[in-house]
Every structure is written in structure tokens, then in C-alpha cells.
Amino acid sequence: MAFGGGTDTVFKVKDSGGTLTDISAYLNTSALNRTAGAYDVSTYGVGSKVYIPGLKDGRIPIGGPWDPTVDALLAGILALTRDFEWHPQGTSAGKVKYSGAAPYGVILVSYQPSSPVDGAVTFTGEFQITGPVTRGTN
């Protein structure tokens, strides 16, 4: 079995200068949320709904302790399409990697720093996947 801990997760995104940058040191949560549409094509005389496969979609939520470095990177790419790589078990040889590249990739659609009076300054954000996602290995 190839179980692994989340502490090995690596997330990379192109910064505003076009460099694929590992921001894993600033994250304590990330996910790859994929969905697929199903279109209703039911007709008269059928006792159950009938569907055909639809378009794929997805988002990558991220979050962690706020830091000026990651703030500058995320603020600089808000609403821009960027290449990405998400490695759920790290970047060792043979480990799974999900990626998207130009002209597609991800768009940072939300970024929220948060500063509670009784806790650490943190941030959350979410990337909208645009176009196909490639599943491969390192």
C-alpha cells in the first residue's frame, strides 16, 4: 500500500514573474476538488432519469499561517491564469502529481487574510481549475 502523510504535500504555482514557485512552507491545508457534470437527457416513457457525461470542473482550496512572502505572491496573481502542480505525497520519484499548464491551469479566485484578536493571522484562498488536469508521476 502507498499510504502517506499530508506533511509531504507540495503545492507549486507560477508567480507573477512566471516562475513555478513552491509555496508548501506557507500552507497547512490544500485539496484537489474535482467534479463532473451530468446532463439530463430523459425522454418520455422512461421510468428513470437518463444522463450523459458533462464537463469536468474543479477547485483547489489552500490555507495556512499568513506571511508577507506568500501574501505578495498571492496578491500578485489574483485573477490571473497560472500553471500549477499539486503533489499529495511529495515530489519523490514515482509519486502522483496533478498539474495544469498554459493556456489553462488555475485562476486564484479568492484570497482572504484573517486576523482574529485571539489567534494567529492566517489566510485562505481558492484556485479555480481551468482546462484539463494531467495526472502523472514525478
Q: Which residues of 78-99 are buried (b: 16+ CB within 10 A; e: fewer)?
A: eeebbbbbbbbbbeeeebebbb
Determine the Cα–Cα distance for residues 88 and 6; give it in Å rounded to an integer. Answer: 7
Domains by residue range for the chain, with CATH: 6-137 (2.30.110)
**pLDDT 10s digit of each residue in the chain, 138 long?**
578 889 999 999 999 999 999 999 999 999 999 999 999 999 999 999 999 999 999 999 999 999 999 999 999 999 999 999 999 999 999 999 999 999 999 999 999 999 999 999 999 999 999 999 999 999
Predicted local confidence at residue 2, as pLDDT: 77
Cell of 34: 474535482
Answer whether 0.85 is exceeded by the pTM. yes
Helix (H) or strand (E) holding 70: helix 68-77
Please give the distance of CA 104 from its chain centroid, rounded to a whole number. Answer: 13
Q: At a CB cut-off of 8 Å and minimum separation 6, what does 64 contact?
A: 26, 27, 28, 29, 70, 122, 123
Instruction: Tell me whether strands 20-22 and 84-87 are parallel, antiparallel or unpaired.
Output: unpaired
